[in-house]
Amino acid sequence: MASRALTTRRPVGLDRALARDLAIAAATGLGVALAKRYLDFHLGIPGHSGLFWVAALLLGASQGRAGTGVAAGIAVGAWGVPLGLGHSIGYNMALYASAGGALDALRLTRWLSVERLPGAIVAGTSMHLAKLAYITTYASATGLVKHFHLLGFAPTAFNHALFGAGAGILAWAALRATRRRARPR
């Protein structure tokens, strides 16, 4: 006869941390898709909308465990269809997952903390440059002419780095403000 310890079954389901991370990813994905859709002012400056969507992705995905950035990026692609972001769902998923992946990779290092200003700046800049790298690779592979081809790659990369750094500062300030309010007085 088998011992009781071997026959006891655990309930099947998601653990709470994973469920929390998935909820964070879905909510972050919605916030990023909304920021990209409604806070893109069509200024003709490559990377300017990253100020808002990178900040939203950085702020949201940093609340979960490593891997939440990629999951949130995939969620942006899914939310992008009903919100009309343009491009295909697969393109958007890969595009924003590349930015989320950059955040996840940076979060694996011990020296980077998005709760500190330098870490948030490095994260925002890296995320926006990862998205530019994806666009550049895709355009090169498919032969598409993108806006940055007309302006030149160096100024476009500079703009993406600048707006990514600004997004890091914005996310850091928002995170700091929420942490202050959460502290008991």
CATH of the domain at 165: 1.10.1760
Q: Does any domain span residue 6?
A: no
Domain annotation covers residue 184: no
Which domain, by its residues, includes 79? 18-179
pLDDT digits (tens, 9 = 90+) for 162-185: 999 999 999 999 999 988 776 666
Which residues 6+ apart lie within 8 Å of 146 measured at CB? 135, 136, 139
Crossing angle (nearest 10°) for helices 153-182 and 117-142: 140
5 or 54: whose pLDDT is higher? 54
The total of structural domains in the chain comes to 1
In a domain, 5, yes or no: no
For residue 16, the model assigns a pLDDT of 86
Distances (CA, A) of 181 to 72, 86, 173: 25, 37, 12
pLDDT digits (tens, 9 = 90+) for 15-61: 888 899 999 999 999 999 999 999 888 888 889 999 999 999 999 99
Q: Is residue 9 assigned to a domain?
A: no
C-alpha count within 13 angstroms, C-beta hemisphere, residue 12: 0
Tokens of 90: 């697969």
3-state secondary structure of 12: coil
Which range is least confidently modeled, 81-90, 124-133, 164-173? 81-90
pLDDT at 2: 53
Determine, yes or no, domain membership for 84.
yes
**pLDDT band at residue 114, thresholds of 50, 70 and 90?**
confident
